[in-house]
Amino acid sequence: MPAIAQAQSPCPLIAAMMVEEPAGLGGIGVTVNGQGLIDVTLNGKADFLRGAADCSITAPGHDFEVDCSWSFAGTETAQAEAMFAALQKRLNACLPERLEPRYVAAQTPDQLATLAARYGTSFIESLEKVKILQDVGQSVPAGKNSALHVRLSLNRDTRYDKLSLSASFSRY
């Protein structure tokens, strides 16, 4: 059975996300650990996504998502970068293709004016205050007509002197 083979994989959570049939995603869940933080689990057992401040799961079906984030004080840059590096190393070992730097497009003045008109000036101010420090991603085949899209990103929000690390897994 696929669930047994996944449990023996060195990367069980990633293997589960890449199953041929979406029904195999059913063992993925979240739990609150002893420190009051969130771990992503497979069949009740925590894997490498642990200690998140926030996680959300979109129910398995045709589309599936797991998004987790960790928060750090602005003075904890070294800790945030070390966790980013550890997650990136683990994902590179688990995925069939390495995570690659993502292109982050700068907004032109015309694009900023359009965004300001649509979302307001506070949205533009937030764009200026959140700096992307690292951003990597990859899309790999998962099943017959699906792909698993993985993104790992580290941002600094200068408004609150906070760092945010996020890991996103989308299958569609």
pLDDT tens profile 79-121? 999 999 999 999 999 999 999 998 666 678 888 888 889 888 8
3, pLDDT greater than 60? no
Q: Report the phi/psi class of residue 16: left, alpha or beta, with left for phi > 0 and alpha for psi in -120 to 50.
A: alpha
Q: What is the per-residue pLDDT across 68-87, written as a single tens digit (0 to 9) for each?
A: 999 999 999 999 999 999 99
Give the tokens for residue 60. Answer: 């398995």
Which pLDDT band, with edges at 50, 70 and 90, does 140 fall under? very high
pLDDT the model gives residue 142: 87
pTM metric for this prediction: 0.83
Decide if 37 contacts 22 (C-beta within 8 A). Answer: no
Question: How many domains would you assign to the chain?
Answer: 1
pLDDT the model gives residue 20: 76
What length is written for the chain?
Answer: 172
Burial of residue 172 (number of CB atoms within 10 Å: 0-12, 13-18, 19+): middle
Range of the domain at 144: 2-171
9, pLDDT greater than 80? no
Q: What is the per-residue pLDDT across 36-77, written as a single tens digit (0 to 9) for each?
A: 999 999 999 999 999 999 999 987 666 789 999 999 999 999
